[in-house]
Structure 1
Amino acid sequence: MRTKIVAGNWKMNVNEVESTELIQEIKNSIQNLPLENTRVIVAPSFINLASAVKNADNSKIEVAAQNMHEATSGAFTGEVSADMLKSVGIKTIILGHSERRSLFNEDDELLSKKIDTALANDLEVIFCIGEHLEERKTDNYLLEVGSQIKNSLFHLEAKDWKNIILAYEPVWAIGTGETASPEQAQEMHYFIRNAIAKKYNKELAANVSILYGGSVKPSNAEEIFSQADVDGGLIGGASLKANDFTAIIKAI
């Protein structure tokens, strides 16, 4: 059975005090929920990771990082390495988010290197893939997402996939108020799982958790999560409000 996951990407929001308060609110809200086969993850900014790990200790909350440099160390001012993340208790990182791709020019080749570094350091990866509006409108969205998977992930050995979680982000539905319909989400998640099955095998593909990320809210979470190949969500804005995030967790 695939693991269900609700992950909150806090992006460049909340300071340390606010981060501590938000984690505490989420802890209190979910402590009595029956989260069997379900993981709850939050991803604060780098500067708040160490305190977040301590604040989430002995709770149902895991803490992930939003990014990581591909080098192990060196003259890369402002960057953070895998070893640094591990040293403060991080076990999971988000890579390939659409904002990293579009705003910081991270391409498939670079992301492939980051994935290799993460896996070499025994870190789990939530890898984001997704198409822009122009690709969706020209019906090239399956080709685009398929290319992202192939270029960044298909060099991996089958054993590596135990540490890979995928997150499908229709970029046109992030921060726009637009949301892919449950049927559109299912179509893409099925396509992704089928592509993995063709490259590796059906059993491996059946065990990969694929999250949906794109304006998930309490009002639409249950319908989206009900789709056969949707295993949870990578949540943006709604993860910054404990009540909304909890409602989405309950919808899983």
Structure 2
Amino acid sequence: MRTQIAAANWKMNLTLQQGQDLLSDILSKSTSVREGHAVIFAVPAPYLQAAKEIVGDRENVYISAQNIYSKTSGAYTGELSVEMLKSVGVYHTLIGHSERREYFGESNQFLAEKVDVALANGVTPIFCLGESLEIRESGNQNAFVATQLEESLFHLSEDEITKVIIAYEPIWAIGTGKTASSEQAEEIQKFLRDHLAGKYGQETADKISILYGGSVKANNAKELFSQPDIDGGLVGGASLVADDFVAIIDALN
């Protein structure tokens, strides 16, 4: 059984006090996370240690970085290394979010280097991919996300690929209020799993959690998560509202 995951991406939002209050509120309302489920909070870098302290030793609840660099140390002012993450007890990171690709020019090849350094250091990558509205309207979304998979992940071994969480996020549905229908989301998530199966075999592909990210809300999470190839969500705006994110956690299969 694949792990079902509710992942929060706070992006560049909240002060430290607001973040601490939000996290404490969510954890007080969702006091335990069932076996086979995971809840992950991708918080701004200055808050990683404080968030980790609030989570403490709760089972199946994790703190994640929103980004890492492809080197473990060096003269890279402003960047965040896996060694820094591990030093504060954080073992997850987003890699390749569409905003990193769009605003900071991160290529598939560069993201492959980030994936490699994360896995080599025991940090779980939450690898993001997805298409723009233009690509979706042209009907080329499958080929586009296949290339993202191939160029960033298909160099990995069978064992390594099972340690990656994949998050499909249609760029046209991020923060726009538009959401892919559950059928649209399932169609491309199944395509991703089938493409993984073509490379690594069905048994391996069936071990990989593939999340949906694109205006996931409390009122649509249950329908989205009921699809056979959607293993939870990567949640933006709704993760900043305690009651909404708790409802999304509760919607996990």
Instruction: Determine if the TM-score, normalized by the shorter chain, exceeds 0.5.
Output: yes
Does the aligned pair in 2 maintain the 1:95–1:111 contact within 8 Å? yes
Give the deviation of 1:72 after TM superposition.
Answer: 1.3
Task: Indicate whether 1:204 and 2:204 are aligned.
Answer: yes
Q: Give the aligned partner of residue 109 of structure 1.
A: 109
d(CA) in 1 for partners of 2:18, 2:124: 26
Deviations along 1:149-191, whole A, 9 cap, x unmatched? 0000000000102310000000000011100000010001100
Does the aligned pair in 2 maintain the 1:123–1:163 contact within 8 Å? no
Does the aligned pair in 1 maintain the 2:179–2:216 contact within 8 Å? yes
d(CA) in 2 for partners of 1:248, 1:193: 23
Which residue identity lines up with residue 140 of structure 1 in the other structure? Answer: N
Q: Percent of aligned positions with the same letter in both sequences?
A: 49
d(CA) in 2 for partners of 1:153, 1:135: 21
TM-score scaled by structure 2?
0.97
Give the deviation of 1:58 after TM superposition.
Answer: 2.7
Task: Indicate whether 1:139 and 2:150 are aligned.
Answer: no
d(CA) in 2 for partners of 1:20, 1:96: 26
d(CA) in 2 for partners of 1:249, 1:77: 36
Q: Give the aligned partner of residue 234 of structure 1.
A: 234
Does the aligned pair in 2 maintain the 1:221–1:251 contact within 8 Å? yes
Does the aligned pair in 2 maintain the 1:133–1:171 contact within 8 Å? yes
Task: Indicate whether 1:125 and 2:125 are aligned.
Answer: yes
d(CA) in 1 for partners of 2:232, 2:245: 12
Q: Give the aligned partner of residue 46 of structure 1.
A: 45
Which residue identity lines up with residue 27 of structure 1 in the other structure? Answer: L
Task: Indicate whether 1:216 and 2:216 are aligned.
Answer: yes
1:235-250 equivalences under 5 Å are 235-250=235-250
Q: Give the aligned partner of residue 99 of structure 1.
A: 99
Which residue identity lines up with residue 57 of structure 2 in the other structure? Answer: N
Give the deviation of 1:59 after TM superposition.
Answer: 2.5
Give the deviation of 1:4 after TM superposition.
Answer: 0.2
d(CA) in 2 for partners of 1:59, 1:243: 19
Computed over aligned residues only, the root mean square deviation of the Cα atoms, in angstroms, reads: 0.9
What is the total number of aligned residue pairs between the two structures? 251
Deviations along 1:23-64, whole A, 9 cap, x unmatched? 1101101105x6231101101100000110001103253101
TM-score scaled by structure 1?
0.98
Secondary structure of residue in 1 paired with 2:41:
strand
Does the aligned pair in 2 maintain the 1:27–1:59 contact within 8 Å? no
Does the aligned pair in 1 maintain the 2:153–2:161 contact within 8 Å? no
d(CA) in 2 for partners of 1:35, 1:147: 35
Give the deviation of 1:14 after TM superposition.
Answer: 1.1
List runs of 5+ in structure 2 lacking aligned partners. Answer: none
Deviations along 1:195-248, whole A, 9 cap, x unmatched? 000001110000100000000001111110010100000000000111000011
Give the deviation of 1:143 after TM superposition.
Answer: 0.4
Which residue identity lines up with residue 4 of structure 1 in the other structure? Answer: Q
1:165-204 equivalences under 5 Å are 165-204=165-204
Runs of 4+ in 1 over 3 A off after TM superposition: none
Give the deviation of 1:132 after TM superposition.
Answer: 0.3
Does the aligned pair in 1 maintain the 2:166–2:208 contact within 8 Å? yes
List runs of 5+ in structure 1 lacking aligned partners. Answer: none
Q: Give the aligned partner of residue 84 of structure 1.
A: 84
Secondary structure of residue in 2 paired with 1:146:
helix
